[in-house]
Amino acid sequence: MTELTLAKSLKIITSALAKGKELNLKPLCVVVLDAGGHVKASQRQDGASMMRFEIASGKAYGALAVGAGSRWLNLQAETRPHFLEGLSAVSGGKIVAVPGGVLVRDRKGAIIGAVGITGDTSDNDEACAIAGIDAAGYTPDAG
């Protein structure tokens, strides 16, 4: 498995924030988790509110939890909420099931990490995560 390095993680964050600036979005927080769900790097822009780290992390963690971008989790939450409730419970309350948590896949399709972004609309958050992962040369999987 390719390892998601700190250098690549910072490339993802920088590119995601550049996308946010290009789209004139509100202040964002970007969190990159490794394949085991542990924080590799994070940046919260000035003006982004208090719990944005936890929200961004929760999107990325949810994606890793089920091996699908958090957009898929969002759909699950709408169609069978009891699944998300159970998933949240067994995760110890670490999941936020709305779009913006995107898997990072290497060239062979293996999951090597996940990116979570929050601060603007969930759709815009997701677009920035995809842009960041693309820029780092990996394949985004938004669900």
Name the minimum Å distance from CB 15 to a second copy: 15
Instruction: Using CA atoms of 127, 74, 96, 87 in order, give the dihedral in degrees to the nearest 10.
Output: -140
Contact track, a second copy, 39-68, x by CB under 8 A: xxxxxxxx-xxxx-xxx-xx---x-xxxxx
Q: Which of 87, 127, 128, 131 binds a second copy (CB under 8 A)?
A: 87
Please, are residues 61 and 116 in contact by the beta-carbon 8 Å criterion? yes
Nearest approach in angstroms of CB 135 to a second copy is 18
The nearer residue to a second copy, 23 or 90, going by C-beta atoms, is 90
Reduce the DSSP state of residue 9 to 3 states and report it.
helix
Biggest distance spanned by C-alpha atoms of the chain? 39
d(CA 78, CA 57): 21
Residues of this chain that bind a second copy (CB under 8 A): 1, 3, 5-6, 9-10, 34-46, 48-51, 53-55, 57-58, 62, 64-68, 74, 77-78, 80-98, 111
